[in-house]
Amino acid sequence: MSTAKEASVKDQLRQFILEELASAKGISQFSDDESLMENGVIDSLGVFRLVTFLEENFGVRVGDEEITADNLQSVDTIEQLVVRKSKK
């Protein structure tokens, strides 16, 4: 059952990043393990929009110390952060 939840987290993340962050920069695709900061999908403003999205849509609290390049590196790492925080 958790697999379906994790897939939906990833699907929602991918959709938000594509529609709200990537498309504005003319980026129409990226892989789940691609560095979103290195390829320019997420900038400093995008980080705050992403964290707000995570908190509002998944009910997780992302502390300032958790807003790191490692946690927000890719769709995969963001999903891991959400899943880890959802279990607390």
pLDDT at 82 over 50: yes
Cα dihedral sign, 47-49-41-8: positive
Residue-wise pLDDT tens digits, 2-43? 556 655 899 999 999 999 999 999 999 999 999 999 999 999
For residue 29, give Cα distances in angstroms to 10, 23, 51.
15, 9, 21
**Averaged pLDDT score across all residues of the chain:** 92
SS (H, E, C) 17-49: HHHHHHHHHCCCCCCCCCCCCCCCCCCHHHHHH
pTM: 0.89
Domains in the chain, start-ordered, CATH in brackets?
2-86 (1.10.1200.10)
What torsion, rounded to 10 degrees, do the Cα atoms 16, 13, 70, 76 define?
-140
pLDDT at 87: 83
pLDDT computed for residue 1 by the predictor: 44
Which tens digit of pLDDT belongs to each residue from 36-81?
A: 999 999 999 999 999 999 999 999 999 999 999 999 999 999 999 9
Distance CA(7)–CA(43), nearest Å, equals 25
